[in-house]
Structure 1
Amino acid sequence: MNAENGYNLVSVCFADSVLRTDGHMVNCQYGAGPWERWQFLPASRAPSYYLQSVQFLGRYLCVLGDNLGMTSSELEATSFTLVCCDPDNPSLLALQGPNGDYLAITSGMVAPYGPGGGKVQMSPFSELAVLRLQIAQPSA
């Protein structure tokens, strides 16, 4: 499940807030650039996926308690199950972790400039866990 340039995962609750990483920390950023692109790689526990950064290849999303981080080890990477949130719009999905909680953007960014800083964490399902899957545009 991969587009050539990866995918952006955009909050449906916070306009233009996109899941991002700097290769170590995970948060969200207003708008999508190279640090906001993700690939879905099949995990060893089908039908789940690892999320790998497109900008930082070999860096995978991992759950650290209720928080998220990045790892360079597939053994430490967290496998996520994609949950369709609207059968009429398959681009709306949630990412469920192995413990049943969901990746949620719990505070958004409201300005297009500056470092990312919106909060991303694992939590029970709510509207904050619904993300819009968008095909990423190539970097300039």
Structure 2
Amino acid sequence: MSTNYEVLFNNSYDRITAADQGETFFSHFYSLFIESTLELNVLPNPQMHEERQKIIYKSFFYMLSVATTYIASDYLEHVAREQNEHGLNLPASVFAYWRRAVLQTVRDLDPLCDEEILTAWAIFMAPGLEFMRRQAELHHDAN
């Protein structure tokens, strides 16, 4: 018997985001992500926090589209490469924390979550996350 990870992902995504178009999902993810990266001191000062949250929010959903199209949108390319307040401006190592925060969010919010669903999420995140991680490797200034 084969497993359709696209169906598992889509069903989980729908369960988590149906009530509020993903606001709860993203807020939970963002809190976990920020908390896990505090010690790394890679996020901007509090004045830039709201702007960074918007960029990460938008990037997250564009990132998921890479899984099905294998095309990085102009927006995703721009924010992954820009090393200023208009881009992600994150070191490559941070994307492991991003992945963990998403998977923990799925564990916390999907009542039917199991290892297969987590695998589906990992599969669907992989192309977009790898794109963003690689762009950070190429373009992030490690100052």
What TM-score do you get using the length of structure 1 for normalisation? 0.28
Q: Which has a greater percent of helix?
A: 2
- Compare CA radii of gyration and give the structure with the larger one: 2
What TM-score do you get using the length of structure 2 for normalisation? 0.28
Structure number with the bigger relative contact order (C-alpha 8 A, sep ≥ 6) is: 2
Q: Which has a greater percent of strand?
A: 1
